Amino acid sequence: MTKRILRFAPSPTGYLHVGNIRTALFNYLQAKKVGGEFILRLDDTDKERSTQNFIDQIKRDLEWLGINWDKIEQQSLRIDRYREVLTELKDKNLVYECFETALDLELKRKKQQNLGLPPIYDRSALKLKLEERNILRDKTESHWRFLLSGETVTWEDKIAGEIKVRTSVVSDPILVKGNGQFLYTLASVIDDADFGVTDVVRGIDHLTNTAVQIEIFKNLSSHAPIFGHHSLIVDSSGENFSKRSGSLSIKSLKEVGIEPRAIVSKLVSLGTGDGVDVDKNIDELAQNFELSKFNNAPVRFDKEALEVLNKDIYEVNFISESQKFISVKFLKKEITQEDFEPLKKLSNHIVYLKFAGSSLKKNLFDNLENFNNLVRLDLKNNPFDDEDLSKLLSLENLEVINLIGTSITEKSIETFNEFKNLKRVYLWKTKISQSDIESFNQQQNKVELVGAVIN
């Protein structure tokens, strides 16, 4: 079976916002789920609007959210390749040279509007004779358009179902601008073909582009990828997000203390019937990811809901101080010394501490050392070592340790029996050697190892 290759292709002309990240996640999670490849492609052929600053911020934002790419590509470095393909299209008479200025086109559109006609380019440049073109070329910059077939393009969309677009109702797209800039339409097709992209998920606003691009793929004798077009998200006033609106940029959400986990889990549930599950990390979300769960009706994204969700993650969420048993969840990405302060007040309670997907710094095990009312510790996915474990030996009430998604050594297993009251250790998805488990099982143990898979 061919390897699935997906990509996220932002233009570095602004900061990424939650809408862009939703697209990134659709592609990233699908790639992860099928063990495919995920490419970050920077669509930076617009030299005036693309900046290094935006490129750097895009990379920072994605990394912060846990969206990691296997390969990075940059369109501005592939212009020679685009020129080569343009020549191929010229040789096949599939592109034609046009000389209208922006103002000419605007006037044409107005005229069509007044006559009640659809604003489609009238192809007048196709009628120009060779001499006329030579004269015009001396006077003005020329741009190139792709000659659409006018036929109906049909595809089975992974989200929107069967789609049919008649290209006779679409203007022949400009592939190269007067200043020589290659536009997204052609550059994207060449890249998707050259990089072997198998699946493209993007916003429903790209439907017409997709029809046009499928025609170009065919003419270049390349296979078009499988497409899925997701709905767009709107803000609380019903407006579309734009890079320029800024308020829900990832950068600004990070600055006001929103946790990456809140953003990712919210975006993954939006538009499905599923509730938000902040307990799952990005790999677990990938395992459950189904494109077919999403529908293509616009969905509202409101910042307040994100803030509420964030509290669940950010704050040490005591169920109630008056309760005897308290469960404390830490889902923050980075845990600091300060986060442990409130725990000091809990000296009369029975406590269950849960660290799911946070990153525990080494010294934080020191904070647990004297936390004698701890009964259950959940380290899910957080690395620890033998030294960390031995720090917990003084905890007389510790009964359960959950080590799902971590890895343990033979020494750690032996330490389990030294705990005063430890009864159970959960080991699902824990990396552990078979011989270690076997030798543990042969001993007289006070502790039960649950969920260890012996291959």
Which positions lie near ligand GLU, rule CB under 6 A?
Answer: 9-11, 43, 184, 188, 200, 202, 206
Q: Which is nearer to ligand GLU, 95 or 204 (CB)?
A: 204
Cβ 203 to ligand GLU, closest distance in Å? 7
Terminus-to-terminus CA distance in the chain, angstroms?
A: 26
Cβ 11 to ligand GLU, closest distance in Å? 5
Residue 385, token pair as written in the block: 């070592």
Q: Which is nearer to ligand GLU, 17 or 206 (CB)?
A: 206
Cβ 202 to ligand GLU, closest distance in Å? 4
Distances (CA, A) of 348 to 325, 338, 371, 374, 391: 9, 20, 11, 10, 21
Cβ 234 to ligand GLU, closest distance in Å? 17
Q: Which is nearer to ligand GLU, 199 or 259 (CB)?
A: 199
Q: Which is nearer to ligand GLU, 81 or 429 (CB)?
A: 81
Give the Cβ contact number of residue 167 at 10 Å: 20
Cβ 210 to ligand GLU, closest distance in Å? 8
Q: Which is nearer to ligand GLU, 20 or 265 (CB)?
A: 20
Q: Which is nearer to ligand GLU, 140 or 242 (CB)?
A: 242
Cβ 29 to ligand GLU, closest distance in Å? 15
Residue sitting closest to ligand GLU (CB): 43
Q: Which is nearer to ligand GLU, 13 or 397 (CB)?
A: 13
Residue 252: exposure state from Cβ atoms within 10 A (0-12, 13-18, ≥19)? middle
**Which segments within 36-102 are labelled E, that is strand?**
37-42, 71-74, 95-98
Cβ 125 to ligand GLU, closest distance in Å? 26
Residue 189: exposure state from Cβ atoms within 10 A (0-12, 13-18, ≥19)? buried
Q: Which is nearer to ligand GLU, 19 or 357 (CB)?
A: 19
Q: Are 183 and 176 in contact (CB under 8 A)?
A: yes
Q: Are 62 and 24 in contact (CB under 8 A)?
A: yes
CA 158 from chain center: how many Å? 17
DSSP structural state of residue 352: E
Cβ 188 to ligand GLU, closest distance in Å? 5
Can you tell me the distance from the alpha carbon of 35 to that of 21, in angstroms, rounded to the nearest whole number? 20
SS (H, E, C) 171-228: CCCEEECCCCCECHHHHHHHHHHHCCCCEEEEEHHHHHHHHHHHHHHHHCCCCCCEEE
Distances (CA, A) of 179 to 43, 198, 286: 17, 32, 42
